[in-house]
Structures are given as C-alpha cells and as structure tokens.
Amino acid sequence: MIISLIIAVLIGALIGFIAGKIMKSENGFWVNAALGIAGSFVGGIIGKLLGAGNGSSILNYVLSVAGACLVIWIVRKIKKSD
C-alpha cells in the first residue's frame, strides 16, 4: 500500500515535470509535482468521461500529462486575476 502510494507520487511528479516543460512553467519542482498529481487525477476523470481512460497505459499517461497541462493553465489564469 505504501509502496503504491510512493510510486503514484513519483509518477505524478514526473508527469508534472513533463507538463511544466510543455507549458514552459516557471513554477518550482515541488509545485509542478503537486500540479502533476492533480493533473493526473483530472486527466483520469476526463478519460473516463470520454470513455478512453481504460485503454493502454500510454494513453493514460498522455491523458495525465494533458490534465496536468490543463491544471497549470488554470493556475496561471487564477494567478493573473489576482
């Protein structure tokens, strides 16, 4: 159980790192990691809504990166409105 959680956090951090590079995010590593974990969750939800979340693991990773990019975009919009 603990090992699965650690692996999920590490994969989420990697997804956040990839999404941060795609979005040219200036956030730090830890912020991108947190956004990647949140984005993985969002990407999973989007995949299930579209009926594509139960496919190959590569598709799940692509959806996770897309979700993380969406979360980074939303955070940018929120920061700009402050």
Per residue in 7-43, pLDDT (tens digit) is 888 888 899 889 999 998 888 888 888 888 888 888 8
The whole model's pTM is what? 0.81
Cα separation, 78 vs 32, in Å, equals 16
Q: What integer pLDDT is reported at residue 29 of this predicted model?
A: 80
Q: Which domain holds residue 32?
A: 2-81
Number of structural domains the chain divides into: 1
59-81 pLDDT, tens per residue? 888 888 999 999 999 988 988 87
Q: What integer pLDDT is reported at residue 56 of this predicted model?
A: 65
User: Which band of pLDDT confidence, cut at 50, 70 and 90, is reported for residue 6?
Assistant: confident
Cα separation, 69 vs 42, in Å, equals 10
